[in-house]
A and B are shown apart, each in its own frame.
Chain A
Amino acid sequence: MKIHEYQAKELFEKAGLPVVPGRVTTEVGEAVQFAGEVGYPVVLKSQVLVGGRGKAGGIKLVKDQAALEKAFGQLKVLEIKGYPVEKVFVVRAIDIRKEFYAAVTIDNAKDDVVLIASADGGVEIEETAKTNPNAIKKFYLQGQSQIDPQSLPWKEFISAIFPDPSHQEIGTKVFQNLIKVFFQHDCSLAEINPLVIDAHGEFYAADAKMSFDDNALASHEELLDLRDMRYEDADELEAKEAGLSFVKLEGNVGCIVNGAGLAMATMDIIKLSGGQPANFLDVGGSSNPEKVLTALKIILRNTDVRAILINIFGGITRCDDIANGILKAKEQIDLPVPLVVRLTGTNEKEAKELLAQNGIEIHSTMREAVDKVVELSK
């Protein structure tokens, strides 16, 4: 799950990170009032959950009320990568002298949490990583959830980022708090880009990005209200609540598969066999019959779908659970498109008997079932 800049900054502030005072609003009047309180110039920042908003014109520096009103109006009608700007975050402008990059994330290949920092911050950081990798410094936490500011490796790291000794203590504090906020909320990313030093030598997180591990959300009540539903696909959410994983695609062959790998392979093979998959749908393990019913309902909302393939290789998923789900669905909904069923693995025999009694044919190989469903989709 991702959250907006203004939400991340609230969490940052609670963790002791320096953020510039700001207010999020949908009303120009409130923006004007806030600018009056903190004084011009202010920056208007579109709150969207996609990258590249600066380049898309979603960030505007304004020097007076007239300019604010004009810019606010422009942002309110702006769409960034298909997402309309709803909220605008108004912050006092900072007189930036130096920009840094700082992020805490998980390096899967190293099985560890890593703090990444650079004295060359800003929007070109990925380019810097490619052209001048030495400008990017990484500090691995070695399985710990904090750093020892007195240790030699830390002193080397911090002085590489902040050659000016007067910045090292406050820089260490900022990094410690970024690490703290990362662990506090089970983040997958906590990023400040840029981390800035202003004309008075003060540090500020000028931007804030946070995303969270979906597997850990259940134990973080503080995050539940932060989800912006406009960025969630209603079908995908409904699927998730039912324990399914669903992604809609452009094609016309609906797929219900168990396991992400087999679900992806099924889509690949449909395509290689001349069809177009309409979705990715993994019913997951420990299936119950209800899941199949929900899966069919979600897939059938897509009116492009001309045939549906159920491809189950039972392991922890029992084929008879799936068969019962198919029978239940047949009772409850009128299937407007043909269903091609392939079931094999755990409790396959029971499933075959159940479906045979109800006149449903079962294919035993994936290739045969895919060929059949592709033919029916044409």
Chain B
Amino acid sequence: MSVLIDQNTKLIVQGITGRDGSFHAKQMVEYGTQVVAGVTPGKGGQEEHGVPVFNSVAEAKDKTQANTAVIYVPAKFAKDAILEDIAAGIDLIICITEGLPVLDMVEVRKAMENTSIRLIGPNCPGVISPGKSKVGIMPGHIHTPGSIGVVSRSGTLTYEVVYNLTLNNLGQSSCVGLGGDPIIGTRFIDVLEMFMKDDDTKGIVMVGEIGGEDEQKAAEYIKKEVTKPVVGFIAGRTAPAGKRMGHAGAIISSGDSTAEAKREVLKSAGVKVVDFPDEIPAIFQ
């Protein structure tokens, strides 16, 4: 098993005719992902890497029975791309695009309310279930099938972690990149729950960073619900403190969002927190 995506995932690529969309559509096809459709308004009827291109998500879904969409469109069109997926009833939306205004995401979250639609990202590397399906921008060859679940707020740092696992013969069940923006579709807790339910996931790696309180919430959840071993890495111990303005931020945030505070709270929840990404494999061996 795996989480979110597998060999049955049928994928629509939004922005398939753009530079990044086209490049990564090809990589996904080569990896073995079932890329069933591309969408670029005005380019319907074309083909890109053998994949038929449609004018809209609704049409693409109708013709191909796709259940997942991945978004590579520029930031100013990304909100509409997500809303189009929500309207079309796509089960899983993975938004790679970075640079979305935060208020766009407030609108997206509102539109997703009371639906079972899941959004991953934006500003994320995507999801891969090694050997089954790859939806995103991660380099496929560094992954290998196995039983470690990886969940991360970062992109390239996730690759670093996965690469170290693979080098040490520790395969992955699924690797989920949540994205680095303040408002995202899916957070640590959601994926930890999925990994707990997935019998093939035996251990979990969680990669966090400074800012926000998601790691603290994850720590609370881990303490109560997670019985599988969790290894953590938090980036940003040397990052300078952010320049703050006004009082509102301090009023709504109760916690300390530094790397050290997150490391401590995760340790107290029983997570093995490492200093170097290459120390992770040894914890599972």
Contact = CB atoms under 8 A, between A and B. Distances in A.
Given A259-B156, A280-B239, A285-B137, A111 B106 contact: yes
B62 interface: no
A112 interface: yes
B137 A271 contact: no
Contacts of A277: 238
B278 A366 contact: yes
A21 to B, nearest CB: 24
A49 B244 CA distance: 10
Interface in A247-293: 247, 249, 257-262, 264-265, 267-272, 277, 280, 284-286
Given A111-B109, A186-B101, A267-B238, A191 B248 contact: yes
A222 B247 CA distance: 25
A375 B246 CA distance: 43
B247 A193 contact: yes
B249 to A, nearest CB: 7
A114 B252 contact: yes
B157 interface: yes
B105 interface: yes
A42 B150 CA distance: 60
Interface in A72-114: 101, 103-109, 111-114
Contacts of A209: 245-246
Contact of B76 (A142, A218, A284): A218
B276 A367 contact: yes
Given A313-B159, A344-B163, A106 B103 contact: yes
A213 B102 contact: yes
Given A264-B209, A316-B137, A211 B180 contact: no
Contacts of B156: 257-259, 261-262, 312-313, 315, 317, 345
Interface string A314-347: 1111000000000000000000000000001110
A129 interface: yes
Interface string B105-136: 11101110100000000000100000000001
Nearest to A51: B245
**Could you say which interface size class chain B belongs to?**
35 or more
B136 to A, nearest CB: 8
Contacts of B88: none
Contacts of A344: 142, 163
Interface string B252-278: 110000010000000000000001111
Contacts of A216: 101-103
A247 B160 CA distance: 22
A81 B120 CA distance: 41
A143 interface: yes
Contacts of B275: 268, 272
Interface in B203-246: 207, 209-210, 212-214, 217, 233, 235-240, 244-246
Interface residues of A, number: 70
**Residue among B111, B252, B259 with most chain A CB within 10 A:** B252
A284 B107 CA distance: 26
B44 to A, nearest CB: 25
A106 B249 CA distance: 9
Contacts of A315: 125, 136-139, 155-156, 159
A219 interface: yes
Interface of B: 19-20, 24, 27, 75-76, 96, 98-103, 105-107, 109-111, 113, 125, 136-139, 142, 152-160, 163, 180, 182-183, 207, 209-210, 212-214, 217, 233, 235-240, 244-253, 259, 275-278
24 contacts: A103-B251, A107-B252, A109-B252, A143-B107, A191-B248, A213-B101, A213-B102, A215-B99, A216-B101, A219-B76, A260-B209, A261-B158, A261-B209, A262-B235, A264-B157, A264-B210, A264-B237, A264-B239, A265-B277, A267-B239, A268-B275, A272-B276, A313-B163, A315-B155
Closest 10 CB pairs of A and B: A261-B154, A143-B110, A259-B156, A261-B157, A216-B101, A262-B156, A111-B109, A264-B235, A105-B248, A103-B248
